[in-house]
C-alpha cells in the first residue's frame, strides 16, 4: 500500500506592513512533492483557506529555480491539484501516514497559532505518525503539544530558518516571529549549518529542514522514516 502524505501550505499572502506579497516558497513545495510522487505516494494538499495558496513571487524569480520548479511549471496536473487544496479544517490525521509543511514566510502568520493546524500536528504525533516541515514552516510545530502537555519540540532535535538567514533577507523586523528563537524558547534542541546550506534533522517522527536547499533532504527523510527510502 502506498504511503499517504498530506502537504499543508500557507494561505497568507501579505508580507507584514510592507505592502509586498508573500506565500509559500515554490521550491519547498515542488521538490518534496516530486520526492513523494516519484516514490508512489498518494499526495493530498491542504491550506487554511483551501483553494489556490499564494505563491511568494520572489520564489518564482530565475535565481531560485531548480529542476523541481521547472518540472512543476510544466506539470498541468500538479498545478490543477495545487489550485484546489482542501481546507485544513476538513482533513484528518487518521487518513494519512505523514504530514509535510513547505515554508515561505506565509506560515509565520497563519500556521504558527492556527488551531486546526496545531490539532492536526498533535493528532499525527499522538498516532506515532511523521510530522515534517522545512524552513519557516517549522514554526507550525512550535505550539503543538504531546499527550503530557509538553511542547512536541521540547528536548528534540529541530531546525528551521535561522536568525542570520532572516537577517540576510532583511526581514527580521518585518516577520511576527523568528523561527530559531521560537523553537529554542519552546525547549527545542535547535541546530543549524551555515546560511542557506542544506541541512535536515530527524528526531524520531519529527523531521525538519533549515532552508529551501534542505527541502529535498527533508522529504527524503520522511520516506526513509516511512520505510520507503
> Across all residues in the chain, what is the average pLDDT?
97
pLDDT digits (tens, 9 = 90+) for 206-226: 999 999 999 999 999 999 999
Return the C-alpha cell found at 228: 520507503
> Quick one: which H or E segment has residue 157?
strand 157-158
Higher pLDDT, 55 or 228: 55
**Residue pointed to by grid coordinates 522514516:** 225
CB of 25 within 8 A of CB of 209?
Answer: no
Return the C-alpha cell found at 209: 529542514
Looking at residues 6-14, what average pLDDT do you find? 98
228 pLDDT more than 70: no
Q: Is 148 exposed, middle or buried (0-12, 13-18, 19+ CB in 10 A)?
A: exposed
CB of 20 within 8 A of CB of 175?
Answer: no
Q: What is the pLDDT of residue 1?
A: 67
Residues sharing a CB contact under 8 Å with residue 27, sequence separation 6 or more, in sequence order: 59, 64, 65, 66, 68, 69, 212, 215
DSSP letter at 2 equals -
pLDDT digits (tens, 9 = 90+) for 137-185: 999 999 999 999 999 999 999 999 999 999 999 999 999 999 999 999 9
User: Rounded to two decimals, what is the model's pTM?
Assistant: 0.97
pLDDT band at 229 (very low <50, low <70, confident <90, very high): very low
Return the C-alpha cell found at 9: 501550505
Q: What is the pLDDT of residue 19?
A: 96
pLDDT digits (tens, 9 = 90+) for 76-113: 999 999 999 999 999 999 999 999 999 999 999 999 99
Residues sharing a CB contact under 8 Å with residue 198, sequence separation 6 or more, in sequence order: 209, 210, 211, 213, 214, 217
Q: Kindly list the distances between the CA atom of residue 104 and the CA atoms of 29, 46, 78, 125, in Å, as whole numbers in the listed order.
A: 9, 15, 19, 23
DSSP letter at 45 equals E
Q: What is the pLDDT of residue 123?
A: 98
CB of 115 within 8 A of CB of 22?
Answer: no
Amino acid at each position: 500500500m502506498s504511503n499517504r502524505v498530506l502537504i499543508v501550505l500557507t494561505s497568507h499572502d501579505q508580507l507584514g506592513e510592507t505592502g509586498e506579497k508573500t506565500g509559500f516558497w515554490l521550491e519547498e513545495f515542488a521538490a518534496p512533492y516530486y520526492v513523494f510522487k516519484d516514490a508512489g505516494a498518494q499526495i493530498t494538499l491542504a491550506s487554511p483557506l483551501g483553494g489556490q495558496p499564494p505563491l511568494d513571487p520572489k520564489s518564482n524569480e530565475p535565481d531560485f529555480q531548480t529542476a523541481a520548479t521547472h518540472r512543476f511549471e510544466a506539470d498541468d496536473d500538479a498545478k490543477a491539484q495545487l489550485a484546489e487544496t482542501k481546507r485544513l479544517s476538513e482533513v484528518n490525521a487518521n487518513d494519512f501516514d505523514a504530514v509535510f509543511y513547505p515554508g515561505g514566510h506565509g506560515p509565520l502568520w497563519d500556521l504558527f497559532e492556527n488551531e486546526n493546524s496545531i490539532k492536526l500536528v498533535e493528532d499525527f504525533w499522538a498516532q506515532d505518525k511523521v510530522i515534517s516541515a522545512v524552513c519557516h514552516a517549522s514554526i507550525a510545530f512550535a505550539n503543538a503539544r504531546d499527550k503530557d502537555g509538553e511542547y512536541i519540540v521540547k528536548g528534540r532535535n529541530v531546525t528551521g530558518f535561522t536568525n542570520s538567514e532572516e537577517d540576510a533577507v532583511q526581514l527580521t523586523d518585518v516577520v511576527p516571529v523568528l523561527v530559531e528563537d521560537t523553537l529554542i524558547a519552546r525547549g527545542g534542541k535547535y541546530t543549524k549549518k551555515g546560511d542557506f546550506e542544506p541541512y535536515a534533522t530527524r528526531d524520531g517522527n519529527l523531521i525538519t529542514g533549515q532552508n529551501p536547499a534542505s527541502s529535498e533532504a527533508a522529504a527524503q527523510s520522511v520516506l526513509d522514516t516511512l520505510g520507503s527510502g
